[in-house]
Amino acid sequence: MRSKHYPIVARQGLWLILPLSGAGLLLLLFHQFAFSLPVWLAVGVIAFLFRDPERRIPAKPLGIVAPVDGRVIAMQEMDDPYLERRACWLKIAGSAAGSYVVRSPMEGKLQKQWYATPSDIGNSRAVLATWIQSDEGDDILLLVRPRLAWLRLHSDVVPGERTGQGMRLCYSPFGAEIEIWMPLNTHIDVRPGQRIHSGSDVIGILNHGS
């Protein structure tokens, strides 16, 4: 799912593509095509890296979808440092080849956001942590650590607003490392080493059984 407000190439990439395209056109007009070819190749690479693809969200209301394209690198039961609870913890290495879109793992209301880890409040650019609560009271904590460590991420959803399953949450150019804390009784559907696609792959199922 991609909102009509988001083009197929993310706006962060357009800021690079537009001036390069202008330079390519000038080279094409005043020189031979061969001179402009490297510029057009660069435009193509940037467009690929900064793509914002539409994804088919699975019809699983209790499903937790992958927040990024990447690979699962670790999973275990551990303490959630933000919500102070025991939880299922999953760590994902985001793909360096895009897409760099970070999506909401489930539908619900965004309760709170932090621009730091609990143990390092002074490092405000280190991470973006987002607490989402479903209508049934399930809590998901999503932590995004951008590969560009100096980058401050901008969230497209703010506390008090609702977010949809697989909906764009933020954008982390050149990828990110993701940590996600889920309720302890969540059925995990992935394993370490498995590659996942944001928005379309289910990484866990919330357990509401009696």
pLDDT per residue over 2-38, tens digit each? 444 556 777 776 777 778 787 778 777 777 777 778 8
What is the mean pLDDT of the segment spanning 78-98? Answer: 92
pLDDT score recorded for residue 173 = 84
What is the mean pLDDT of the segment spanning 148-176? Answer: 87
Give the pTM.
Answer: 0.81
DSSP string, 100-130: -EEE-SSSEEEEEEESSBTTBTT-TTS-EEE
By the 8 A CB rule, do 149 and 125 touch?
Answer: yes
**Tell me: the pLDDT tens digits for 98-136?**
788 899 999 999 999 988 766 664 454 568 999 999 999
pLDDT score recorded for residue 64 = 96
Of 208 and 117, the structure prediction assigns the larger pLDDT to 208
Q: Report residue 209's pLDDT band, with 50, 70 and 90 as the boundaries.
A: low
Sign of CA dihedral 83, 128, 2, 97: negative
Tokens of 135: 């209508």
pLDDT score recorded for residue 2 = 44
What is the mean pLDDT of the segment spanning 203-208? Answer: 91
Instruction: At 7, give phi and psi (nearest 5°).
Output: -70, 170
d(CA 203, CA 210): 22
Which segment, 42-46, 68-72, 146-150, is predicted with the most confidence on average? Answer: 68-72
What is the mean pLDDT of the segment spanning 130-157? Answer: 90
d(CA 41, CA 38): 5
